[in-house]
Amino acid sequence: MKASTSGVAFASSHDADPLEAMKAIAAQLDLSALAGALVFCSYRFDKDALASAIRTVCGALPVIGCTSAGELTETGYDENSIAFIGFKSSVFQFLTHRFPDIEAFEPASAREAVRSLSAQAESDARALEGNVNHAALFLVDGLSHREELLTMTIQEALGEIPLIGGSSGDGLLFRETSVFHDGYFHSSSAVVAILSTTRPLRAFKAQHYRASSTKMVVTEADPAERRVIEINAEPAVQEYCRLAGRSPADLSTSLFAAHPPMVRAGGEYHVRSIQAAHEDGSLSFYCAIDEGIVLTIGEPIDVVANLNSLLNEIDSSVGGIDHIVGFDCVLNRIVASERQISREVSSMMKKHRVVGFSTYGEQYHALHVNQTFSGLAIGR
Residue range 49-73, pLDDT digits in tens: 999 999 999 999 999 999 999 999 9
Across 93-132, b (16+ Cβ under 10 Å) vs e yields bbbbbbbeebeebeeeebeebbeebbeebeebbeebeeeb
Mean pLDDT to the nearest integer, 285-309 = 94
Entry pTM: 0.93
Helix locations, 215-290, DSSP H: 236-244, 253-258
Q: Is the pLDDT of residue 3 over 70?
A: no
Mean pLDDT to the nearest integer, 104-130 = 95
Q: Is the pLDDT of residue 22 over 50?
A: yes
Tell me the one-letter amino acid at 103: E
Element counts in the chain: helices (H) and strands (E): 9, 26
Tell me the one-letter amino acid at 313: E
Q: What share of the chain is helix, strand, coil (3-state, %, to 5)?
A: 30, 40, 30
> Phi/psi at 306 (nearest 5 deg)?
-65, -45
Mean pLDDT to the nearest integer, 273-291 = 94
Residue 87 pairs in a beta bridge with 8, 36
Do 298 and 259 contact (CB within 8 A), yes or no?
Answer: yes
Mean pLDDT to the nearest integer, 12-20 = 98
Give the β-pairing of 294-300 and 201-207. unpaired
Q: How far is CA 89 from the centre of its chain?
A: 24
> Phi/psi at 303 (nearest 5 deg)?
-60, -45
Do 33 and 89 contact (CB within 8 A), yes or no?
Answer: yes
Q: What is the DSSP letter of 279?
A: T
Rounded Cα–Cα distance for residues 194 and 100 (Å): 18
pLDDT tier, 114 (very low <50, low <70, confident <90, very high otherwise):
very high
Give the β-pairing of 190-197 and 92-99. antiparallel
Q: How far is CA 367 from the centre of its chain?
A: 12
